[in-house]
Structure formats: structure tokens, C-alpha cells
Structure 1
């Protein structure tokens, strides 16, 4: 009995620490390997996206190619335009864009990134009050030219 209680407390503590890390559903990342995704607030799947709020996303990944060295050369100078963050809700097979305040991926992660580097991407998306209260698959991508740097999907429920 004495070993059971500490074991349960350790398990409960680990569950609480990792409660907001969600399962990675890669949808075609070509130039990076996603290691974790944190959606705030997301306490369960589907993630409840409350109307009138902002949802924050943090993606940890490892670059598999020098994509940012080649494509993000002017990133630090502020003139980079080749990599873009894109967020869509997939409704009945149709991609409906979610508005992002900043689509420039280098404004949301440290650039440049070389092959093998670990990186963190942070961005947020507004959940507008006029969105319908429905379940939707959210697809989040970073693209550079024709290449998908990283891509993941998250099941979401728009709630009041």
C-alpha cells in the first residue's frame, strides 16, 4: 500500500505536467521532424477553441535539411518572404483559412536553422466570435516555396 500511493502521485504529476502536450499528427512534413506540439489551452482532444479567444501553439522540431539557410537568407533583415505559416480548418474536405496576425515564419522562430538543429516555433490564432460551433480538423503548416517544412493536424471543437 505504501508504494501504491507514491506511484499514483508520480503518475498524476507526470500527467499534469504533460497535459497540454498533444499527440503529433504529421500531415506531410518534409524538411523537419516534429518532436512535440503544445496547444494552449487544450486539455482534451478535440481541443476546445473558445470563440473570442486566442489559441497559442508551440511546436518543437528538428530540421532535416538546411531549408532555412537556403530559403531564409534575409530573415534577420526583415525582408524574408519565402516561408509562410498557414492555418486552415478542414470542413467537409474544404480548407477554410484561419487568420494569422503574422504569417512570416521567421518572426515566430529563430532563424537561420541548419540541418540537425532543434528549433521552436510559436504562433497564435484568433478564434473569432462569428465562427460556427462545429468540430473541425485544423491543419497548420510552414511552407517554403513549394516545400512543406512542417505540417500537423489537430482535431478541434469551436465552442462558445
Structure 2
């Protein structure tokens, strides 16, 4: 067995985690293909989100359909039940350039407040962008809310 290949794979994994690029877990994107997700802060999985801070997300995706408007939503999944994390602005076009045409490469940036009143708990965060009844993109990331 070649020692170099496993070492290179481990090194690549460390580089991706160290750069805060997270593994993509697509949870049903229909109108886009996610190419990368960057969550800050997220040096490890689950992402440690400190109460009273802000979590930032940058998503690069390629649209597979055209749309002129979209909304963002963020939920924490607790025991299978989605609990909404409020966003300052739900209009996703404030966080990316709209209108979007099929084939466009899009950069979406947004943030969510990690409120002090949130419980200290592990949660799966589900982030979605929707247009009408169609889901543009959806991804999940495991998070640990810390004091």
C-alpha cells in the first residue's frame, strides 16, 4: 500500500477543516447545485456557536433554473422538530444578486445571531433558500451552541 495517498487524504481533510470549509450535506436542493459552503466560525464539526455571537455562512452554487426572488430560512432541528432561527432579512436577494438565470454561478452570504437565551445544546442547523414553493437549495450542518 502506498503511504503517500492516505497521508495526502488526511492532509487534505485537515486543510479543508482548517479553512472552515465544511462537508456539504445537501438536504434537497432542487434548483441549484451547491459547490461550496463556508461557515464561520466552524473549525471543527459540530460547529461551535457561542451564545451572543453571530454565525456567518457563504454558499457558492450553480443555478439550474431561473428565478427573480427568493427567501432564506434557518431552522434548528430538535428531536425531528424544526425550530426557526430568526433572520434579520428573509429576502435572499439582499444576500445575492437577483434575478438569477439557469447556469449562473451565485455567491450567497448571510448571518444568523446566536442568541444568549438559546439553550446549550447540540442541534442540526438546516439552511434553505426557497422561491415560491420550490426549494432552490438546502443544506444542514451539525452545531453545538456553547455558553
Q: TM-score, normalised by structure 1?
A: 0.81
Q: CA RMSD in A?
A: 1.9
What SS class does the counterpart of residue 93 from structure 2 fall into? helix
Give the aligned partner of residue 65 of structure 1: 65
What SS class does the counterpart of residue 15 from structure 2 fall into? helix
Give the aligned partner of residue 121 of structure 2: 134
Q: Which has the larger radius of gyration?
A: 1
Give the aligned partner of residue 145 of structure 1: 132
Render the CA deviation track for 1:103-147: whole Å, top value 9, x for unaligned.
101000011111111000000000000100000000000011110
CA distance in 2 between counterparts of 1:20 and 1:83 reads 26
CA distance in 2 between counterparts of 1:19 and 1:109 reads 22
Is the contact between residue 16 and residue 22 of structure 2 (CA under 8 Å) also seen in structure 1?
A: no
Structure 2 gaps of 5+ residues are none
Give the aligned partner of residue 38 of structure 2: 38
Render the CA deviation track for 1:83-118: whole Å, top value 9, x for unaligned.
210000000011000010111010000111111110
CA distance in 2 between counterparts of 1:16 and 1:29 reads 23
Give the aligned partner of residue 119 of structure 1: 106
* Pair 121,31 (structure 1): closer, same or farther in 2 beyond 3 Å: same
CA distance in 2 between counterparts of 1:17 and 1:32 reads 24
Q: TM-score, normalised by structure 2?
A: 0.88
* Pair 112,93 (structure 1): closer, same or farther in 2 beyond 3 Å: same
* 2:82 is equivalent to residue 95 of structure 1: yes
* Pair 89,16 (structure 1): closer, same or farther in 2 beyond 3 Å: closer
Query: How far off is 1:17 after superposition?
Result: 8.5
CA distance in 2 between counterparts of 1:55 and 1:151 reads 17
CA distance in 1 between counterparts of 2:75 and 2:16 reads 29
Query: How far off is 1:18 after superposition?
Result: 5.5
CA distance in 2 between counterparts of 1:105 and 1:134 reads 28
